């Protein structure tokens, strides 16, 4: 058995996330307390008590999900001794993957994603851009939908989540045309997403440039575990490449399908998802049903994952 870890991206945030881990695990408490110190405000209380409207603000969302995912990882690590073969994360989750790998210090990461969130929101004013998930079409057909809709304004593929769920981002005036074009092409649904900007599109070029400058100030360590990049779905070649990959990620499509295919090519047959939701587990099941996916998002799922992995380890030891 080879294990991979994956980490949640933006959109998984919800009131109460991580509180049970904080209450039951000392190392999870340390994570939230360190985040509060690094950020200079009470992120912990926002995660536990909301309000949801505040948690949905990109500048808050990104450090909140990263912190919660790391707290869940630390709780998991306190119960079982396993080293993953590779790690990855969806969009924001790639920063959590680097924390898990040891290439970015947690305190640096949480401050960095706070700025990333601010840069991404400032790049496109509210009410100008957005994102739409297209479900039920092939990758190629969805790309053709984007091309046709782009006659009305900027529309680009921004997330290759699974073979049957591709997300388009761009100007709202053009995205308004996506639903009718997609349904005419045979899509089951075209669902506007509750986000405030067209993430992972060329419209965020100013954010990429600002983030690149911030990344130059960060000291990156050795990747103790290979990290798979969203930009191309491949392993980041070396620590020297991390700043460029993370900067490019802001305007590049998230190639999640290829990230999972790279894990499969490495022999990974079991993936553990960390974060407040289960979206990544759903995507992975649609990419490759042979992969066993364990989603850790509450105490019950943590215990179930630990029990399963412990049993698998014992079977192989006999």
Backbone angles phi, psi at 89, to 5 degrees: -150, 150
Burial call 16-50: b when 16+ CB within 10 Å, e when fewer: ebbbbbbeebeebbebbebbbebbeeebbebbbeb
Coil, strand, or helix at residue 312? helix
Which two structure tokens, joined as six digits, stand for 312? Answer: 């698998």
DSSP character string of 267-281: T--EEEEESSS-HHH
Beta-strand relationship, 129-135 and 165-171: antiparallel
The yes-or-no answer on residue 200 being catalytic is yes
The yes-or-no answer on residue 101 being catalytic is no
Cα 71 to Cα 17, 74, 288, 301: the distances in Å are 10, 5, 28, 14
Q: Could you tell me how many residues make up the chain? A: 318
Give the contacts of 120 (CB within 8 A, at least 6 positions apart).
Answer: 58, 197, 199, 204, 207, 250
Cα 21 to Cα 18, 68, 70, 240: the distances in Å are 5, 9, 11, 34
Name the active-site residue from 91, 103, 229, 295. Answer: 91
Cα 153 to Cα 124, 156, 169, 190: the distances in Å are 14, 10, 11, 18
Name the active-site residue from 200, 262, 281, 295. Answer: 200
Could you give the residue numbers annotated as active site?
91, 200
């Amino acid at each position: 058995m080879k294990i991979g870890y994956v980490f949640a991206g933006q959109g998984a945030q919800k009131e109460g996330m991580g509180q049970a881990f904080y209450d039951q695990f000392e190392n999870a408490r340390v994570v939230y307390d360190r985040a509060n110190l690094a950020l200079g405000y009470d992120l912990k209380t926002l995660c536990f008590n909301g309000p949801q409207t505040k948690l949905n603000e990109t500048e808050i969302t990104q450090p909140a999900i990263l912190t919660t995912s790391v707290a869940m990882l630390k709780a998991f690590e306190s119960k079982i001794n396993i080293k993953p073969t590779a790690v990855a994360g969806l969009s924001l989750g790639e920063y959590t993957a680097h924390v898990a790998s040891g290439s970015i210090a947690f305190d640096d990461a949480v401050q960095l994603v706070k700025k990333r969130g601010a840069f991404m929101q400032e790049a496109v004013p509210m009410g100008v851009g957005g994102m739409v998930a297209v479900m039920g079409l092939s990758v190629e057909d969805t790309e053709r939908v984007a091309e046709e809709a782009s006659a009305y304004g900027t529309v680009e593929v921004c997330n290759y989540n699974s073979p049957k769920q591709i997300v388009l981002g761009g100007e709202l005036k053009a995205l308004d045309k996506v639903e009718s074009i997609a349904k005419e092409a045979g899509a089951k649904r075209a669902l506007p997403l509750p986000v405030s900007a067209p993430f992972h599109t060329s419209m965020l070029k100013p954010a990429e440039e600002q983030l690149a400058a911030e990344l130059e100030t960060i000291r990156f360590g050795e990747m103790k575990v290979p990290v798979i990049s969203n930009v191309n779905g491949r392993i980041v070649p070396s620590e020297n490449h991390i700043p460029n990959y993370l900067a490019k990620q802001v305007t590049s499509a998230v190639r999640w399908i290829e990230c999972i295919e790279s894990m499969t090519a490495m022999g990974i047959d079991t993936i553990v998802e960390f974060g407040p939701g289960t979206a990544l587990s759903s995507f992975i099941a649609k990419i490759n049903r042979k992969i066993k996916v364990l989603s850790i998002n509450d105490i019950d799922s943590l215990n179930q994952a630990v029990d399963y992995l412990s049993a698998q380890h014992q079977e192989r030891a006999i």
